[in-house]
Structure 1
Amino acid sequence: MIDHYDWAGGREAMLRFGPAAGPVVVAAPPLFEEANRTRAFLVTILRLLAQRGIAGALPDLPGQGESLVPTDRSSILKMRDAFNFACDKFDREGRNCYALGMRSGALLDTLAPVAGRWHFAPMPGDKLLRELKRAAIAADPQRHDLDSPVLGGSTPIEIAGNPLAPALLAELVTARPAPDARVVRLASDPADAIRRVDGAPLWRRAEPDNDPALAALLAEDIAVWIRACES
């Protein structure tokens, strides 16, 4: 079902799944191009949660998805604020809200009024910034503007087809996921995690893709975790 939520910057669309009562998982997809590569996978997880009796929501965030906010006018703070309002919509209904952050989406739930956080392959902002810089240099080895975001400026900087505000890139230097999340990672990822699972990093593929088997494994992990939190 297509719904919406309001935040300080306007109104954004939100996909909703599952029952109209009980706990709800609000998902924050990865930022920029990784969001396109993993959207079908994230929707599959939310649909599988709905089959397990757990509601889900996938909000558009400012500058992402189908948002009317231009990408170069968005910021980490605005996206965090909007995600907060998306969760608050359910909190006002008396429902326990849980955040699902995937990759850099794990940077966006830090202000949200949630009962718990579940992160898949979370990454700090400075790592995302390094990846964005590598992508830009790979496309154009002659670029010399990639250090300017951390020094200030107002002219949007195009990286991988996205015009990004220097202020947003500067925010990435210090942005970190919340430390209290249940962290699940791929077996190939050496970073700290509570659980590791087998699978391929869909966000590395050239085109959007899906992995129903991995989605089912993650949905079950989330469902078991939420039931434990609710008991």
Structure 2
Amino acid sequence: MIGSYGWAGGREAMLRFGPATGPVVVAALPLFEEANRTRTFAVTLLRRLAERGIAGALPDLPGQGESLVPTHKTSLLKMQDAFNFTCDTFDREGRRCYALGIRSGALLDGLASVAGRWHFAPMLGDKLLRELKRAAIAADPQRHDLDALVFGGDTPIEIAGNLLAPTLLGELPTARPAPGARIVRLASDTGEADRKVEGAPLWRRAEPDDDPALAVLLADDIAAWVRTCES
């Protein structure tokens, strides 16, 4: 079902899945191009959760998806604030919220009062910034102005086809996922995790893709985790 939620900056679209009562898993996609590459997978994952009796929601945060906020007008703080308002929508219905962060989406649930956090392949903000710089230099090997642009001025910066605000880029070096999350990573990922699973890093592919088998595996893990938290 297509719904919406309100936040301080207006209204944004939100996909809703599963039952109209009980706990809700609210998903945050990765930032920038990785959001496009993983959106189909996130929808598949939330549908598999719905089949297991767990409701889900996928909000468009400011600067993401169909949001009316341009990418260069958003910031981590605005996206965190909007994610918090999304959870408040369900709190007002008397439903407990759980955050699901994919990759850099794990940076976006820090302001939300949730019953628990579940992060898939979470990354630090400074790693994301390094990846953005590499992409910019790969596109233009003569570009050596990124540090000056990121940490000074108000002019939007074009990186990998995205027009980004220096404010947002300046937030990344200190951005960290909120502590206490259950962390699941791919087996090929060397980072610490509560569980590692087999699967392909869809965020590395050139085009949006899906992995139904991985979605089933993760949905089973999330559903069991939510039920443990609820008991």
Q: TM-score, normalised by structure 1?
A: 0.99
Counterpart in the other structure of 1:173: 173
Counterpart in the other structure of 1:136: 136
Counterpart in the other structure of 2:3: 3
After superposition, the Cα gap between the structure-2 partners of 1:149 and 1:194, relative to the gap in structure 1 and judged at 3 Å, is farther
What letter is aligned with 2:87? C
CA contact (8 A) 1:149 1:167 kept: no
Distance in 1, Cα, partners of 2:68 & 2:39:
18
Give secondary structure in 2 for the equivalent of 1:110: coil
Counterpart in the other structure of 1:106: 106
Distance in 1, Cα, partners of 2:96 & 2:28:
17
Counterpart in the other structure of 2:51: 51
RMSD: 0.6
What letter is aligned with 1:21? T
Q: Counterparts of 1:177-216 in structure 2 under 5 Å?
A: 177-216=177-216
CA contact (8 A) 1:186 1:200 kept: yes
Distance in 2, Cα, partners of 1:147 & 1:5:
36
What letter is aligned with 1:93? E
Give secondary structure in 1 for the equivalent of 2:146: coil
Q: Which moved more, 1:144-153 or 1:36-45?
A: 144-153
Counterpart in the other structure of 2:84: 84
Instruction: Note the alpha carbon deviations across 1:147-195, whole angstroms, 9 max, x for none.
Output: 1244221000000110000010000010000111000000011111000
Counterpart in the other structure of 1:31: 31
Counterpart in the other structure of 1:122: 122
What letter is aligned with 2:144? H
Instruction: Note the alpha carbon deviations across 1:54-77, whole angstroms, 9 max, x for none.
Output: 000000000111000010000000
Structure 2: where are the runs of 5+ without partners?
A: none
Give secondary structure in 1 for the equivalent of 2:41: helix
Distance in 2, Cα, partners of 1:50 & 1:199:
22
* Aligned-pair identity (%): 81
Instruction: Note the alpha carbon deviations across 1:65-100, whole angstroms, 9 max, x for none.
Output: 100001000000000000000011001111010000
CA contact (8 A) 1:149 1:169 kept: no
Structure 1: where are the runs of 5+ without partners?
A: none
CA contact (8 A) 1:148 1:166 kept: no
CA contact (8 A) 1:185 1:196 kept: yes
Q: TM-score, normalised by structure 2?
A: 0.99
CA contact (8 A) 1:26 1:99 kept: yes
CA contact (8 A) 1:149 1:170 kept: no
Distance in 1, Cα, partners of 2:148 & 2:96:
42
Distance in 2, Cα, partners of 1:34 & 1:151:
24
What letter is aligned with 2:132? L
What letter is aligned with 2:17? F
Give secondary structure in 2 for the equivalent of 1:123: coil
Instruction: Note the alpha carbon deviations across 1:203-227, whole angstroms, 9 max, x for none.
Output: 0000100000001000000000000
Distance in 1, Cα, partners of 2:149 & 2:33:
19
